[in-house]
Chains A and B, each alone.
Chain A
Amino acid sequence: MNIFEKMVGLDRRWVFLFLFVVVTGAYFFRNSFSVNVTTTREVRSIYDFVENLDPGSKILISFDYDPSSLAELHPMSRAILMQCFRKGVRVIGVTLSQYGAGMVEEAFRKFGSEADSLYNTHVEYGKDYCFIGYRPYPGFVILGMGENFRIFFPRDYYDTPLDDLPIMQGVRNYDDIEGVIAITSGTTADMWVIYGNARYNMPLALGVTGVMATDYYPYLGNAIFGLIGGWKGAAEYEKLIGEKDAATAGMPAQVAAHLTIVLFILIGNIGFLLSRRSKKTGN
């Protein structure tokens, strides 16, 4: 048994500990080295879309994620919301995820006040943004909103009739907004493509978790105009809006973790190749 095989045979808790130390260390020393994030055209197209909107334009952002994926998707929400608030683009918020309501409330509360202090704005509920709430069965809700937001959401999350919100005046369905950005984990992204864009043909962009990102490339150009994939996608967006936040801060830890895992793969494969060679030579 060679040294590499012996390493692979170690108790997996040593592997866990090694990763824990490397990632934690890289996170705490994040200011000591920087990672140059290059932007991709799929992320840039979403940034450009928002940037080219006139102040007062309205978009729908669907925050379809739970605490389990807040790490990846909350930074995206922040970057997009900050850009909207800075530009004066109005945001209608909705969630199709069962624990998403808490995520949306926190996003608007936290990032709204950050925008106020950073850009000297006064982001106001009902005028600059609103949260219409949560409904189960995303496919049907997406179809319903395509007919009229009021079918499923006669009142917002705080029990105010939708018609009493200035931002919802004159907004009946997707035809009355500039587009939809769905920040989503799980199959809701497919539903936005199939039940939303395929049926109502509204401009649609997706922000998805890393696990899902590669699955949505086939929709680029035919169903979606942009795609933000995971933590790196969020870091790209932070770079585009010129504000480094959680995703950028985590990039050194990401690099360290990736190098560690590449190292693990190399050790495992070297051990495998050496043992195969020694079996072939009969030693």
Chain B
Amino acid sequence: MEDSHLVELLWTTFAAFLTFATFSFLYKDNPFYKFAEHLVVGVGAGYFVVLLVLTSLKPKLWDPLLAGQWWYIIPGLLGVLMWMRFSKKVSWLSRYPIAFYIGTSGVAIPLYMYNSINRQISSTLDLSVGFGSLTAFWGIIIVIGVLTGLMYFFFSKEHKGAFGGLAKIGIYVLMLGFGASFGYTVMARISLFVQRIAFLESWGRMIGNFFS
């Protein structure tokens, strides 16, 4: 057996050990789980630091500055001001980069207006997009569902009388939607577990191959 196979087997065995260590939490919290939990925080943070510096700071700040694009000093300086939060005296300086960031987020205003309001309303009113053979009928049901759902979220008016009745229809529609989400969530969670079983099976096969 080649050395590279042995090394790969050792790494995979370590990964399997960490998998079992994490699963052990199902029995109860224990040192193995704590070890895995703390290790992943450190490794994950370290991975992210290197990634940020080498793929974001270097090409986006360091390289342009070295190439003489001096104006990149402005975002660099604003970025450094973010770190002033640690000083009680000058922590207010960190408001500048935060303000800049929040300001640029203003780009979302027209996009939300178009995407979440205009186009959702026009799609709702398009009765050709319904379901099955009774397209228009289900299209109208969708319109009623959207309107009553919105009424349920309208808390400035007390949910009483006719308005309360409509809001009640709204919450029924919302519950069906949440139920659908629950059904999908079960599938999602089981998938994650099945994938770990698949990994352990491949590890077992690897060990079998190594010793045969």
Contacts and interface: CB of A to CB of B under 8 A. Distances in A.
B51 A134 contact: yes
Contact of A209 (B188, B193, B194): B188
A163 to B, nearest CB: 14
Interface in B170-194: 177, 180-181, 184-194
Nearest to A252: B194
B187 A193 contact: no
Interface in A134-155: 134-136, 139-140, 143, 152, 154-155
A267 interface: no
B144 to A, nearest CB: 15
Given A194-B116, A195-B111, A198-B115, A27 B198 contact: yes
B188 A258 contact: no
B129 interface: yes
B197 A24 contact: yes
A72 B48 CA distance: 23
A53 interface: no
A232 B111 contact: no
Interface stretch (B5-13, B30-38, B52-60, B85-93): B52-60
A214 B177 contact: yes
A223 B184 CA distance: 22
Contact of B26 (A13, A211, A218): A13
Contacts of B119: 198, 222-223
B44 to A, nearest CB: 7
B71 interface: no
A223 B118 CA distance: 12
A213 B183 CA distance: 11
B156 interface: no
A246 B47 CA distance: 28
Contacts of B99: none
Contact of A254 (B55, B129, B181, B190): B190
B52 A198 contact: no
Q: Choose among B51, B180, B196 the residue with the greatest number of A CB atoms under 10 Å from its CB.
A: B51
A63 B7 CA distance: 29
Given A135-B56, A152-B60, A250-B195, A28 B177 contact: no
A231 interface: yes
Best-buried of A99, A223, A231 by chain B (most CB within 10 Å): A231
A215 B27 CA distance: 34
A33 interface: no
Contacts, number: 123
Contacts of B194: 23, 27, 71, 231, 250, 253-254, 257
B129 A133 contact: no
A199 B26 CA distance: 46
Contacts of B44: 99
A13 B29 CA distance: 13
Contacts of A213: 184
A214 B180 contact: yes
A258 B186 contact: yes
Contacts of A230: 184, 187-188, 191
Contact of A229 (B63, B177, B184, B195): B184
29 contacts: A24-B197, A70-B195, A71-B192, A99-B44, A101-B51, A134-B55, A140-B104, A154-B63, A194-B115, A197-B115, A198-B114, A198-B119, A209-B188, A210-B186, A214-B177, A214-B181, A214-B184, A215-B181, A221-B123, A222-B120, A230-B191, A231-B188, A232-B187, A250-B191, A253-B190, A253-B194, A253-B197, A257-B190, A258-B190
Given A13-B27, A27-B198, A199-B111, 18 more contacts: A23-B197, A71-B191, A71-B195, A71-B196, A98-B51, A134-B51, A135-B56, A139-B105, A152-B60, A154-B63, A157-B55, A194-B115, A210-B187, A214-B180, A221-B129, A230-B191, A257-B193, A258-B190
Smallest CB-CB A-B distances: 9 pairs: A210-B188, A71-B195, A198-B115, A231-B191, A257-B190, A210-B184, A250-B194, A222-B123, A210-B187
